[in-house]
Amino acid sequence: MTTHIITERPQGAARAAIAVQGVTKRFQGFAALRDVSIDFLPGQVHVLFGENGAGKSTLIGVLAGIHRPDEGTILLDGQQVQAATPRRARELGIAAVFQEPALVPQLTVAENLALGREPTSRGLVDRRAGRRQAVEALARIGSSIPPDAYARDLSRAEQQILEIARALQGEAKVLILDEPTASLTDNETDCLFDVVHTLRREGLAIIYITHRMGEIRRIGDRVSVLRDGALIRTCPLGEVTDDDLVTLMTGRQVGALFPEIPHRPGGMALELQKVSGAGVLEIDLQVRQGEVVGLTGLVGSGKAEIGQLCFGLARTVSGRIRINGQDLGHSSPSKRLRQGMVYYPADRKHDGLVASRPARENVSLPALDRWTRAGFLDRRRERLETEAVLKRLSLRPANPDALPPTFSGGNQQKIVLGRGFTRPYGIHIFDEPTAGVDVGARAEIYEAIKELADSGAAVLLISSDLPEVINLVHRAYVVAEGRIAGEFSGEDLTEETLLPVFFTQHEKEQGA
C-alpha cells in the first residue's frame, strides 16, 4: 500500500478556514505527527479518523494551542498564526470541546458560560447581564437548557451542548469536537447532531473525531485518515467505503472484524434467579461454560447494574446468584474474584485503572497472592508473568512500566483486560469493553474474548453496541426498564429483532 495518498482540495473550493502545513510534533524523540498537511473548509464537518495513537489528539492539541509544533505552520483564513496557548487559540477563533466536560458542577449554566469573562458593573459581577448572555449563547445553537440550572444536574448530552455554547462565545471560526458522543444515548446523540448541523450552516469549520463508523456517514463531509502520526488520505466521504477506511486506518486488510466463536456450552457457570437490586427487578439469566452471552439495551436500561450485582458491587434485595451451583449470598467482590469471577468495568479510567502505578502492576493487582510467599511478593515472577500477558495482548507501545494515562484508550483497555489472563478465571463479565476503542484494538479484544470462550470460560458481554452483540454472542438478553424484556439466539439474533425490544415496556406474565 502507498504510504501517503493525499487528495488535494478541489479547484474552486472555498479557502480553508484553518489549515496545517507540514506539521511535525515530537515527544521525547517520538514523532507523534510527521509532516501532516490538511485543509479544513468552512461549512463542512471534517472527520479525523485513525487508531488510538495515530496522532489525532496531538493534531487537535496543536490547533487548540496545547502543543507547539516542532515544524510546520498553521494558517487561519490564509494567514500564518501561532496558537501558542489555549487562550490564544480561543482569541483566534479556534474553539475546542474535549471528550470529558470541564464544567464546574456547583455553578449554574449561566455562571459556567461566563466563567473567566464575567460581565461587570461598577466593579461587581453583573449576574443579570451574565444571564442574558447565557440565554443568547444557548439560543444561538438552538438549546433550551435553563440558564439557572446547575451543571451537576444536566444530562451528559446537555453538558456537551453547554461546552459547545461556552466554546463558541466570541468570534469562533473553527470548532473541534473530540469523541462528543462517547457517553451519549441515541436520542442525546441526535440532539447533539442537530447542533452540529446548525453550526455547519452558519459556516463554521468543524473538526470531528470519532471511533464510531456509523457516525461518520451521518455527520461528516470529508475525512482525513491518520496512521502512526502520518496523513494517509484526505477525501470526500463519498469516495471511500467503510472497508476502505478500515484498511487505510490499520494498513492491512482487516477482513472479518468479528471472529467465529464455536458454541460448545458446558455446565452452568453463572445463574441469576429472580434477582432484584438497585435498578433491576426479578432478573433470570444463565451463562454456561464456553458460552458468550450478551446483555444489551439502552443506556440506563439496567444492563450495567446486572453486571455490578453479579460481581457484588451492588447488593441484591432478593433472588439468588450462583457460581457453579454455589449460592453467593452477599459475598464481597474480593470473594467472588477468588471464586473465579472477574469483572471489567465500563469506565476504565475511573474504575478500572490505578493511574499512578505502571501497566504491569495494574495487571497483577487481582493475582498478587500467586506471587506472594510468607508475606513477601516475588517481584521477578510478577514482572515476567504480567509482561508476558501484555505481550500476548499486543500492548502498544510495549512498555509495561509506563503509566496508564500515557497509553491510548484501546491500550488502556488491554491493560484492564490483562487481569483476566493472570489466572484461569471461569467467569468473565465485560461492561462496554470497546467504548472509545478503535477498530484495530476492537479486533484484538474480540480475539481475546474468543480465546476465553474457547478455553471453556463463561463470558457475559454487556454492550450497547448492537453489531458487537449480534456478531459475538451465542445468546442475548435485552434489558428494558430494569427487566429482561426478551431472550434471543440463532436466527432471531438480528438487529431487526432486538432493536424494537429496546423500546418496549416490559409486559407482565400473560394472564397477570
Q: What are the residue ranges spanned by the domains of the chain?
A: 18-93+171-250, 256-340+425-435+454-512, 348-424
Q: Give the confidence band of 508 by pLDDT, cuts at 50, 70, 90.
A: very low
**CA–CA distance, 394 with 440 (Å, rounded to integer):** 11
Report the Cα 384 to chain-centroid distance in Å.
31
Question: Does residue 71 surpass a pLDDT of 60?
Answer: yes
Q: Give the confidence band of 11 by pLDDT, cuts at 50, 70, 90.
A: very low
CB count within 10 Å of CB 394 equals 15
pLDDT in tens, 200-247: 998 999 999 987 777 888 999 999 999 889 999 999 999 998 888 888
* Region 72-78 average pLDDT: 92
Are the C-beta atoms of residues 271 and 285 closer than 8 Å to each other? Answer: yes
Predicted pLDDT of residue 252: 61
* Region 343-352 average pLDDT: 90
* Region 65-69 average pLDDT: 91
Strand order in the sheet with 45-49: 94-97, 174-178, 205-209, 45-49, 222-227, 230-236
Predicted pLDDT of residue 8: 45
Are the C-beta atoms of residues 280 and 309 closer than 8 Å to each other? Answer: yes
Predicted pLDDT of residue 339: 92
**CA–CA distance, 244 with 247 (Å, rounded to integer):** 5
- Paired sense of beta strands 475-480 and 376-377, if any: unpaired
Q: Give the confidence band of 507 by pLDDT, cuts at 50, 70, 90.
A: very low
C-alpha cell belonging to residue 232 = 494517509
Question: Does residue 391 surpass a pLDDT of 70?
Answer: yes
* Region 138-151 average pLDDT: 87
Q: Give the confidence band of 329 by pLDDT, cuts at 50, 70, 90.
A: confident
Q: Give the confidence band of 441 by pLDDT, cuts at 50, 70, 90.
A: confident
Report the Cα 449 to chain-centroid distance in Å.
19
* Partners of 288 in the β-ladder: 268
Q: Give the confidence band of 183 by pLDDT, cuts at 50, 70, 90.
A: low
Predicted pLDDT of residue 256: 59
The answer to whether domain 256-340+425-435+454-512 has CATH 3.10.20.30 is no
**CA–CA distance, 257 with 494 (Å, rounded to integer):** 17
353 or 465: which leads in pLDDT: 353
- Judge if the upstream peptide bond of residue 397 is cis by omega within 30 degrees of 0: yes
Q: Give the confidence band of 454 by pLDDT, cuts at 50, 70, 90.
A: very high
Give the residue from 168, 456, 126, 419 showing the smallest Cα distance to 291. Answer: 456
CB count within 10 Å of CB 380 equals 9
* Region 190-209 average pLDDT: 90
Same fold, 18-93+171-250 and 256-340+425-435+454-512: yes
Rounded to 10°, the helix 242-250/439-454 angle is 90
125 or 271: which leads in pLDDT: 271
DSSP state at residue 10: P
- The CATH architecture that domain 18-93+171-250 belongs to is 3-Layer(aba) Sandwich (3.40)
Q: Give the confidence band of 394 by pLDDT, cuts at 50, 70, 90.
A: confident
Question: Does residue 408 surpass a pLDDT of 60?
Answer: yes
Task: Give pTM, 2 decimals.
Answer: 0.65
* Region 485-511 average pLDDT: 76
Highest mean pLDDT (candidates 56-70, 396-410, 437-451): 56-70
Question: Does residue 487 surpass a pLDDT of 90?
Answer: yes
